[in-house]
Amino acid sequence: MDTVPSAAIAERFGTLFDTLDSDNDATLTWDDYQRLVDRYAKGYSLDADDTRARAIHAAYHGLWDELVRRSESADGSLDREAFVGAMRAVSEDTSRSNPTEALADAVFDLLDDDDNGSISEAEYVEYAEILGATVDTAWERFKALDTDGDGSISREEFIQSGREFLFGEDTESAGGFVFGMV
């Protein structure tokens, strides 16, 4: 890896690693991401052929493929250090469609249940609960993401929160929910 994340970003990506390592084996594989995708499908009662389920699966799989490629993993698994480095490299990639932004778009579309172009408080709280967060945590993060204070989260606000999670120095960034981190 030729990119070294700041201490705050490395800490945040390390916490994301811990969250995603759902079988607690100190490595990430596609199976860990698949469990997160399955959690979304179950939480939103989505059939496998539902457009939103396919979009979430494709977005997470695209991110996973790029993480493995960037880490140069021989066996398709990532330890914490490899994940942190690969996540940073993928998030900084501006040469083509960025899989982290594609993921943020797919998650936004999943949350925008009524398809009105914004995420309401109720839609966001439902998502947070599916991820395992408390209602209080969801409400705090909703307020942080609703930067214009209009009572909803626009696509731009949601994607910007993902960018702040990826690049900002705030280790408590509310944008971690974009990537499945409670």
Show the tokens assigned to 19: 């969250």
- Domain membership of residue 148 (yes or no) is yes
The CATH number assigned to the domain holding 41 equals 1.10.238.10
Predicted pLDDT of residue 2 = 42
pLDDT band at 6 (very low <50, low <70, confident <90, very high): confident
- Residue for token pair 């880490």: 71
Q: CA-to-CA distance for 166 and 100, rounded, in angstroms? A: 9
- Domain membership of residue 113 (yes or no) is yes
- Is residue 157 pLDDT above 90, yes or no? yes
Predicted pLDDT of residue 100 = 87
Number of domains in the chain: 1
pLDDT tens, residue by residue, 100-136: 888 999 999 999 999 999 999 999 999 999 999 999 9
- Domain membership of residue 1 (yes or no) is no
Kindly report the average pLDDT of the chain as a whole number: 90
- Provide the residue range defining the domain that includes 122: 7-179
pLDDT tens, residue by residue, 52-87: 999 999 999 999 999 999 998 989 999 999 999 999
Cβ atoms 163, 2 nearer than 8 A: no
- Domain membership of residue 154 (yes or no) is yes
- Domain membership of residue 118 (yes or no) is yes
- Domain membership of residue 2 (yes or no) is no
Closest CA to 111 of 131, 137, 136: 131
Predicted pLDDT of residue 175 = 86
- Is residue 154 pLDDT above 50, yes or no? yes
For 63, residues 6+ apart whose C-beta sits below 8 A from its C-beta are: 33, 90, 99, 100, 102, 103
Cβ atoms 128, 144 nearer than 8 A: no
More confident residue, 8 or 53: 53
- Domain membership of residue 138 (yes or no) is yes
Closest CA to 65 of 55, 76, 53: 76
- Domain membership of residue 175 (yes or no) is yes
Closest CA to 122 of 112, 132, 131: 112
Predicted pLDDT of residue 1 = 40
Note every long-range contact of 146-152, with CB atoms under 8 Å and residues 24 or more positions apart, other chains counting.
Answer: 151/120, 151/121, 152/118, 152/119, 152/120, 152/121
pTM score over 0.85: no
pLDDT tens, residue by residue, 15-53: 999 999 999 999 999 999 999 999 999 999 999 999 999
